[in-house]
Amino acid sequence: ETGVTQTPRHLVMGMTNKKSLKCEQHLGHNAMYWYKQSAKKPLELMFVYSLEERVENNSVPSRFSPECPNSSHLFLHLHTLQPEDSALYLCASSQDRTQQPQHFGDGTRLSIL
């Protein structure tokens, strides 16, 4: 039990589909993060939310759209993705932006056909 739950665990979608990834934490943390993990590349930070406000957008294409409706939930809305977007998408949370360690979910394995 990691404290951070991601759904779905696996997702296969076509390039024209729209889908959403969900992340939920009940650790009482105030900061939440989306990371992308591609094969043989370091984890890349995509977005950071602190107290439900987006504080970091790491030059991510607009086909990825995050949403943080409350401090326990974080979504990543996907539309018109490209094959190179296939990766493991990891969600994490921490007490606040400067507090480590971050607690990670098990990720969503995304495959774009």
- Specify the DSSP class assigned to residue 15: T
Which string of x and - marks every residue 4-23 that binds another protein (by CB under 8 A)?
Answer: x-x-----------------
Window contacting another protein (CB under 8 A); options: 14-22, 59-67, 76-84, 89-97 = 89-97
29-88 residues in contact with another protein (CB under 8 A) are 40-43, 45, 56
Closest CA to 35 of 113, 110, 112, 111: 110
Is residue 19 within 8 A of residue 67, CB to CB? The reply is no
Report, in Å, the least distance between residue 88 CB and another protein: 9
- H-only helix segments in the chain: none
Q: Based on C-alpha coordinates, what's the Rg of the chain?
A: 13
Nearer to another protein, 16 or 39 (CB): 39
Report, in Å, the least distance between residue 48 CB and another protein: 8
Nearer to another protein, 90 or 110 (CB): 90
Distance of CA 49 to the CA centre of its chain: 11
3-state class of 111 per DSSP? strand
Positions touching another protein (CB under 8 A) are 2, 4, 6, 40-43, 45, 56, 90, 92, 97-98, 100-107, 109
